[in-house]
Structure 1
Amino acid sequence: MTETPRTLGILAGGGRLPAQVAAAARAAGRSVFIVGLEGFADPAVLAPWRHEIIRIGAAGRIMAALRGHGCQDLVLIGPVRRPSMLDLRPDAEGVRILGRIGRAAFLGDDGLLAAVIRVLGEAGFRVIGAHEVMRDALGPRGLLTRMAPDAQAVADLERGIAVARALGAADVGQGCVVQQGIVLAVEAVEGTDAMLARCAGLARPGVGGVLLKLVKPGQERRADLPTIGPTTIAGAVAAGLRGVAFEAGGTIL
């Protein structure tokens, strides 16, 4: 007797990825329920799906909604800006969770997300990566365009790898932009799109730079994998970059 796939819960931040995860789950025969985080999730993106919009500090409501729809497996997907304690306004369950998270609440994104995943596991949810649902979403190895990087681009990428690894080891960010050996920008809390917007006014004369995105060393891969989408590519073009590189098998395209 075939077991009916369990309802997949999606805890959704911004962008279109939550809907893409939902579509992949439905194509695999799973039902889906989405909790959109108020102020981050796009109601228009979630409209075709069973969903509820709940503020991030209302952890009790979030867990009750997920349990009420039979969700055990859970995907965390979509950008969320870390709120201040004033904006968070945690309910009783939120206060309890903050106590369980402890000092990780004041660490970088990966440290915080790893703690959140641990607490969700203790609450009975199994957090899985978006890439485990969207099986073909991870970028492959190799050249994906007709134009191959020249010697300067390769040198910029090598410089970018060293910088991105150092950033990731400190749990700061996942990406940087390098042009002619000069680091134009590094990604921090503002995210990739804002980093690229800064680069337009920083570019040097001559050949354009490159954007590089890597998984942080030791990163919890079930949340916040590097992502490159149409907005990223448009931002790179607007910034005058001539290439984008990413960690194969670790970046959602």
Structure 2
Amino acid sequence: MLQQWFGWPRFQTLRSQSTQEPIGLLAGAGRFPIRIAEKAKSLGIPVVCVAVRNMASPELEALSDRFYWTGLGKLGYSIRCFVREQVPRFTMAGKFHKVELMKPLMMLHHLPDWRAIRFWINRNRQDNRDDALLLGLIDEFERDGVRCVSALELCPELLVRTGILTKRAPSESELADIEFGWNLAKEMGRLDVGQSVMIRNRAVLAVEAIEGTDLAIRRAGELCKKAPFVVVKVAKPQQDLRFDMPTIGTTTIESMHAVGGKVLAIEAGMTIILDESETIALADQYGISIVAR
């Protein structure tokens, strides 16, 4: 009735406007969400993007059919956006800065809604690791009929191929560091601590934790004062393809170059490489070797 009186447009979901069912995109920081939105758009799949403010790129708005900003604590609002648009499935992409949850007065800063408060209170408080939190969040969406799927269903071509990707191959000493670091990184993944370790001369310089790969790389560089070292980044043995896939790109290479990293070893078929040609070209420019095994 109010719509008739005031001429307000009746809300139409994308399901009523398109023959293809929309996909939801819960977007964090970085270029991965942008690549997902671009790929969906090229396939004619409508995109409903719920982007985390102060993390996700504003560029996503132009790539989305419907776009909503949300806060880190607005779980209920995020779910309602997808439900309102009759989104049957969504994917998570990009970095969600977990360190925000560790800051003093986190609740006051992010002002979580009731759904987020209930989730935070009822979660398993004995385990705040990434997998436990993200699987719990997925369950919240699925309770309202919104199923989480892997972004790789849209972009399988982003997975890295086996081989030496750069002009420079690792030296014998660097290969030994890769071998030394590989099982260590896998064990850190099994424990759900992080995905990366930094190695020099068969010694561990740094282990990635809550700070993320780029900051862990920079910490390693500070410890060995730009002496060359190896970065090993792998998938968890129990890797869920729907979230937290190992991802590299130009920012990874820039971080390594800034502090002396010379080799990046990644897991073929389980690592996403963004802007592949630009990333490899930048590594070649800096004399950094990228090897996928």
Fold-level similarity (TM above 0.5): yes
2:86 paired residue number: 70
Unaligned runs of 5+ in 2: 1-17, 274-293
1:243 paired residue number: 263
Matched AA of 2:243: A
Q: CA deviation at 1:204?
A: 6.5
Cα distance, 1:91–1:172 mapped onto 2, change above 3 Å:
same
2:244 paired residue number: 224
Equivalent pairs counted in the alignment come to 249
Matched AA of 1:163: L
CA contact (8 A) 1:139 1:252 kept: yes
1:90 paired residue number: 112
CA contact (8 A) 2:196 2:208 kept: yes
Matched AA of 1:188: A
Q: Secondary structure at the match of 2:222?
A: coil
CA contact (8 A) 1:131 1:252 kept: no
1:35 aligns with 2:50: yes
Q: CA deviation at 1:45?
A: 4.4
Deviates most, 189-198 or 143-152: 143-152
Cα distance, 1:45–1:26 mapped onto 2, change above 3 Å:
closer
1:79 paired residue number: 95
Cα distance, 1:105–1:64 mapped onto 2, change above 3 Å:
farther
Matched AA of 2:37: A
Q: CA deviation at 1:135?
A: 2.0
Give the TM-score normalised by the residue count of structure 2. 0.79
Q: Secondary structure at the match of 2:261?
A: coil
Give the TM-score normalised by the residue count of structure 1. 0.90
Cα distance, 1:93–1:219 mapped onto 2, change above 3 Å:
same
Cα distance, 1:37–1:136 mapped onto 2, change above 3 Å:
same
In the TM superposition, 1:1-253 aligns within 5 A as 4-49=19-64, 50-82=66-98, 83-84=100-101, 85-86=106-107, 87-98=109-120, 102-103=123-124, 106-203=127-224, 208-253=228-273
- Runs of 4+, deviation exceeding 6 Å: none
**C-alpha root-mean-square deviation of aligned residues, in Å?**
2.1
Q: Secondary structure at the match of 1:124?
A: coil
CA contact (8 A) 2:25 2:50 kept: yes
Deviates most, 127-136 or 90-99: 90-99
Distance in 1 (alpha carbons) for counterparts of 2:20 and 2:164: 37
Q: Secondary structure at the match of 2:83?
A: helix
Cα distance, 1:180–1:201 mapped onto 2, change above 3 Å:
same
Q: Secondary structure at the match of 2:248?
A: coil
Distance in 2 (alpha carbons) for counterparts of 1:226 and 1:249: 10
Distance in 1 (alpha carbons) for counterparts of 2:24 and 2:140: 16
Cα deviation, 1:149-185, whole Å, max 9, x if unaligned, reads 2211111001111211121121110001111112111
Cα deviation, 1:78-119, whole Å, max 9, x if unaligned, reads 11122435244322222343355x216842112211222233
Matched AA of 1:77: A
Aligned identity (percent) is: 33
Distance in 2 (alpha carbons) for counterparts of 1:245 and 1:147: 13
Query: Which entry has the higher C-alpha Rg, 1 or 2?
Result: 2
Q: CA deviation at 1:68?
A: 1.9
Deviates most, 153-162 or 55-64: 55-64
Cα distance, 1:22–1:136 mapped onto 2, change above 3 Å:
same
